[in-house]
Structure 1
């Protein structure tokens, strides 16, 4: 027997009309003993049954299905969608409609799960933001109140407290600047001024600008052997310098005394260049790797805050690289070291 599982409404109507009309036509032909009358009866009964069934299906079933589709799209139907509802939708089988609804349901579940995750991240971000602001603000408040209570009369105490107040003000300024930077990058308001430049020269320039910090920990900086040959990239030079500065500063903060920071440059293909900054420091536990580019995320909160910084450096790096249409990644092993790499577009003829 013919399966009706995947029949469209019109096919189902024709199938049902055929089941009804054939026995009736045969009965009429037998009773009248006239096969011509039987054939005419077959046509009339089939046409009448088909019309009645299709009208019933379209008015009472597909009108409901049409409402379901409008609920799925959640918008006022365009002319194109109205054509779809009128001509294409009735051709679909009930199973196809069910599959569409199930697909919509799965999509909504993914959206809801994404919203839940975003809400959790939002709450965590606000908590971290509050903590990052409160720490320097309370410190400044404490220093000022102590000075007002009479400590200002002692020159040494006054100088020390004012210096500490200045450091905390600088921390607040850096925090606001970093937040503003991320906001502009996320909104797309931060324009990129791309140009061709040699990436090794920019790495050496970054090393030189941070030499005081690296020398204080006796950390040696270098470009990996075999990666010294000049490689030209096409990117915003100032933004990439900011990325390199953040990565080298991080490597210095969490690197061991007397350790090394090594930069590597590879041409992965004709269109892309991979740049990596590696250290032999404390490393990062595996469970933290997928979150280190989040704003304010710290693998060890107390130790990280002792190291200074706003907790936004890696988040800024991620946004800058993604603004270039490229990707950034991390590899790390505890007590072995960390390597953070990112891709850039290779030299472009301009």
Structure 2
């Protein structure tokens, strides 16, 4: 009978254990439309590191940034079907699929970033996260999406009248379309990756987004007028496919939630720094940034609220958000 030398046998056992350990690790694929280094991308990486530590290396996360797995609308569907494990998505990309989350897309629903944090960190935030269970994903945490403002290639916007006839890109959200229409503009739903060329070729006059997106997507190169109307503060949400979630033990589900919540503070810190950095970058490129009186913009939003806040439960949710200090 053939016998391995003692050292060789020990090495074989060690190699076998290494294979066993490696095969026990599950690498989750997570999608993001933003470039590497962007606060949400780095936050999901941090989530993965925290999760790996909490699960003793059984789970890790690989982030596919820069729309490598597709634009948001497509990746939402892939996540719902379990083709993509996790996703960092703007709530606006869910359109009206999640009624409770739709409220966070309403223009001027949040008075400031602090107000948004107080709402989302409390019971209202947990209520909205839980509402995603009905659409094939489990929402783990909210990330900052900053304040979104209009920018264009022709002139500063100081009043809603300045937007008359302006072709403005919005994400594929009915609320966003109706918001631009209420301001007198022509909303053009379009994937994020096509905005630069759209403005450059004149298909679009402009778009709306936060400073980091305006900067990192290069939009300041083709649309130099940025007007601080801050019409939206739409949260980002980190979700996991319900297909994947249902395969986790209750204990691991708790660890996933804990890791996601811990990554929020990291994302907010990165976001605050990135906003300052991006504003300076676009100003250095020659962007003209102007303040606006928000009251006329807020006053124009009555029809949007009338259309989307008809259900008594949503009216109550809006009232509770507005009452939050």
Larger gyration radius, structure 1 or structure 2: 1
- Structure with more of its chain in helix, by fraction: 1
TM norm structure 2:
0.22
Bigger relative contact order (CA 8 A; separation at least 6): 2
TM-score, length basis structure 1: 0.21
Structure with greater proportional strand content: 2
